[in-house]
Structure formats: C-alpha cells, structure tokens
C-alpha cells in the first residue's frame, strides 16, 4: 500500500494520529520500532516492557474524568467529541478508580492495536526509522524516549539541542501480598463513589496503608538514606518534571512535604482504629495509597511513589510501610531520561517543523506532559494532516477549549526561554468573565469550552 502519510512512533500520540487519518480513508504507514523477532524491529526503550502500541509506561491513570471542574477531565470530554481512539479504548479497559479514569494497561494497549489493525487504509510496520524523511507528509510521534539515531537527525534538522528532564516510574504490588488486617479500602472523602459503582467497584477504590507519626518520620529517613541510582556525568544537571517527581526527592524538600502530597491522610478514616468515641475510625498521620492497575484487580500501583531508589532498596524500604511488610512486587520503580523540543520556537501553529514543513511533531516530544495531553496533540496532528490531504483549510480549535489552549501553549504562547513540560490546566485558558465568582470559575471554564467546541466540530470533516 502506497501511503499518503507516514507516522513514526506507535505510542499514544502516534496511535491517535493514525486513527484520525485512517478513519477518514487516508492511507497511513505507522512505523513502530518495538517488535521483537520482527524484521527491522526488536528495539526497546529504557522504560517500555512490551511491544504493544500505546503502552502505558508510568501510571495506569488518565487522571480526573470530571469534565465540569477539571481541565484534564474537560480534555477527556473534548477528545471523546472528536471520536478519540484512546478514549474509546480506555472505556473498554477501565478499572475502578473513583472519579479518575484508570485502565488495565494490557487491555488498553490490546484494544488500541485491534482498532487500528481493523482499519483497511492503515499499515502497521515494525521498523526503526533512523532519519527524518526528506519528503512526504510525516508525523513524528516518537515520544520522550526517541531512539538516539533519530534524535540526532531531529537535532540536525532543528538546529537546536533538545531539552531534557527525568521521569520516574512507580512500583506495582501484587494484591494478595498486601496485609488487609492493617490496610483498608476507601476513597478520600468517598469522592467518586458514584463513578466507581458504575464501573463495578464498591466506591472504595484505593488500598490505604496508614502510618503513625513515628512510622512516617522513620519512613522518610529511610527514603533519604536509601541507595539511589547514580547519574552519569551528562545527566547530573537534568531536572525532574514536577508531575512525576521521585518520592525521595519530595521527601528531601521538607519534613511535611509528603504529608501534603501523595501521603496526605485527610478524608480517610481508618476503620482499624475505630473506638466507641470514633466508630468510623480516625485519620492516620500519613497514608500510602495503592490504585488498581488491571481489570482482574491482582495488581496495584503505589500512587505517587515514583522512585530512583535501587531495586533492592525499594523492596527493603517499601516493606517498612504498614500493610506492605510482605509485599511482592510485579514491577519495581525506575528512572528514565526524557527529551522534548523547544516547540514554541521550532514549530508553527500547525505543529509543523518550520525548517521542514512536511514534518509535524506530536505527543510528548513537543513538550506536553501526560498520557491524555500526548494523545490530544496526536489527535490534533492527525486532524491537521487530514485537512491538508483533503485540500481544506485547517480551522484550529477554539482557544477557550482544552484542545485549543494546549495547542496554543505548545506552538507559541509559552515563553520559549523557559519552556518546560506542561500538563493541561486552566492557567492555559483565557480567563473567564471577570464577574464570575471564584467558586464558579472552573465550571465557567468548562461550560464555555463545551459551547465553543460545539461550534468548531462541524469544521473537522
């Protein structure tokens, strides 16, 4: 099949872009280097564990699904309105997680791959691409772990060094190794109970491991003292992305930092500590939460526990957590280096490389951060390219929408000199009417976005 568009990279962004193009009858070649025992394949990154398309590397959560008060939930809504592949696959792979959208990783990846494989105009090829194509419409969606040869080719084309930061991965624990005589099931403030029940959960979607003050303070000291991954000389000055900061780095910022971050105990009554005076139990001094990671409920990930501790130290230190004394780990945490472009300088408003406009970039390599944001930029790249193939003028999504705000930030609104990875947030949106009350601002953002998006959708074709 002679392709009209070549997509390099089968992650979140590349898969979404391929879907948006193929469902419009456009012939697409999707190149993915991960493919063991296949011609030209077999390569792996430092973070991937499988050859599946759209593999979720860090968390299994797409974060909040609240489209009335949360920017990422609004982005979910907008992607669904655009017939998003990723949102459709997530619906089939969803696992209980309160008000969050979390999925079974394996089911999600399999759904994405099956839906793409069913498209007659899409060819999935397991091959490594080492240089940027010199002609032909191309979308580069190789993510933050772009292979060295292609990264060098991109560097030569952009004339600028890529920026870099570190991402850390959280461990995953086998459910049957958690001591439920100490831990208990609950969602904070029972938030998301309705969504949980609709998903087959019971409204108590997190496993909570409680700590007293002495236990917390001792645990923090263990995090600080634990043996950690050593950086190479060239990595020493590389910063972390704040949204994926290692737990021990947070611990080093202050004694109470973890208690106001991933280990905050508020809204969680420990029933094991119930008394006649407090029949529902009491809040712990700190808590470690675990979230379901697969549909079977056999795997649970440690929320916010990204780490650069060495593997043996992870086992030792994390088994000091009450309830995890005998924990068995399906996967231990890790650390990988990410790269991204200074997109506000290098890309135009249609994600095209200014020095080579036949090439678009999409996903985390553009400097967006997060699964959903990566997929959203892939969706936009696919829609832009589809319009170009059809000979139609591209109409950008409204600046007031989550899609439009994210795209605007990446392609010029951000300050180029200080450009860093960014999750979608209401700070990227134009402010609502000044008369809007503070408590109603989030609803004002989302209501305006939905109304403006509805007017834009017919232009997609």
Instruction: Tell me how many helices (H) and strands (E) the chain has.
Output: 13, 17
Alpha helices in 226-370 (DSSP H): 247-251, 311-318, 343-346
Q: What phi, psi does 103 have (nearest 5°)?
A: -135, 160
Name the strand (E) or helix (H) holding 290: strand 286-292
In the block, tokens 């997060």 appear at 370
User: Binding site for FAD, residues?
Assistant: 9-14
**Rounded Cα distance, 394 and 383, in Å:** 8
User: Binding site, residues?
Assistant: 9-14
Distance of alpha carbon 212 from the chain centroid: 32
DSSP lists the bridge partners of residue 122 as: 28
Judge contact between 226 and 248, C-beta under 8 A: yes
Q: What phi, psi does 327 have (nearest 5°)?
A: -60, 135
Tokens of 202: 């019971």
The radius of gyration of the chain from alpha carbons, rounded to an integer in Å, stands at 22
Judge contact between 442 and 72, C-beta under 8 A: no
Q: DSSP letter at 60?
A: S
Query: Nearest CA to 330 among 313, 309, 320, 315?
Result: 315
Tokens of 116: 């793409």
Judge contact between 216 and 259, C-beta under 8 A: yes
Three-state secondary structure call for residue 172: strand
Tokens of 70: 């949360």
| Beta pairing class for 184-186 and 94-95 | unpaired
DSSP lists the bridge partners of residue 126 as: 32
**Rounded Cα distance, 433 and 318, in Å:** 48
């Amino acid at each position: 099949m002679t392709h009209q568009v070549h997509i390099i990279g089968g992650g979140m962004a590349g898969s979404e872009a391929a879907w948006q193009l193929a469902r419009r009858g456009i012939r697409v070649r999707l190149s993915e280097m991960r493919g063991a025992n296949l011609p030209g394949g077999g390569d792996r990154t430092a973070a991937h564990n499988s050859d599946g398309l759209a593999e979720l590397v860090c968390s299994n959560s797409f974060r909040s699904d609240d489209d009335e008060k949360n920017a990422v939930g609004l982005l979910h809504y907008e992607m669904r309105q655009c017939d998003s592949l990723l949102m459709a696959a997530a619906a089939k792979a969803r696992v209980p997680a309160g008000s969050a959208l979390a999925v079974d990783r394996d089911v999600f990846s399999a759904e994405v791959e099956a839906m793409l494989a069913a498209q007659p105009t899409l060819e999935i090829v397991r091959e490594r691409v080492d240089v940027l194509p010199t002609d032909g419409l191309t979308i580069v969606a190789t993510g933050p772990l772009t292979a060295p040869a292609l990264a060098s080719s991109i560097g030569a084309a952009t004339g600028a060094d890529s920026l870099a930061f570190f991402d850390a991965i959280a461990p995953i624990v086998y459910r049957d190794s958690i001591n439920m005589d100490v831990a208990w099931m609950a969602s904070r403030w029972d938030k998301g109970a309705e969504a949980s029940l609709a998903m087959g959960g019971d409204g108590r979607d997190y496993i909570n491991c409680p700590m007293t003050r002495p236990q917390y303070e001792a645990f923090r000291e263990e995090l600080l003292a634990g043996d950690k991954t050593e950086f190479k000389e060239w990595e020493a000055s590389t910063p972390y992305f704040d949204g994926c900061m290692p737990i021990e780095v947070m611990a080093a910022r202050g004694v109470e930092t973890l208690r106001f971050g991933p280990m905050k105990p508020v809204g969680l009554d420990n029933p094991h500590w119930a008394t006649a005076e407090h029949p529902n139990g009491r809040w712990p001094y700190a808590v470690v939460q675990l979230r379901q990671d697969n549909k079977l409920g056999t795997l649970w990930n440690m929320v916010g526990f990204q780490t650069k501790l060495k593997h043996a130290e992870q086992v030792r230190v994390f088994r000091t957590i009450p309830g995890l004394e005998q924990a068995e780990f399906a996967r231990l945490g890790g650390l990988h280096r990410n790269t991204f472009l200074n997109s506000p300088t290098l890309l135009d408003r249609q994600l095209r490389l200014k020095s080579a406009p036949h090439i678009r970039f999409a996903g985390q390599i553009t400097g967006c951060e997060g699964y959903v944001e990566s997929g959203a930029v892939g969706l936009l790249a696919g829609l832009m390219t589809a319009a170009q193939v059809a000979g139609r003028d591209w109409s950008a999504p409204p600046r007031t929408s989550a899609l439009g705000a994210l795209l605007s930030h990446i392609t010029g609104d951000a300050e180029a000199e200080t450009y860093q990875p960014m999750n979608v947030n209401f700070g990227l949106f134009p402010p609502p009417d000044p008369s809007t009350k503070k408590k109603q601002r989030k609803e004002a953002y989302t209501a305006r976005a939905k109304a403006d998006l509805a007017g834009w959708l017919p232009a997609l074709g």
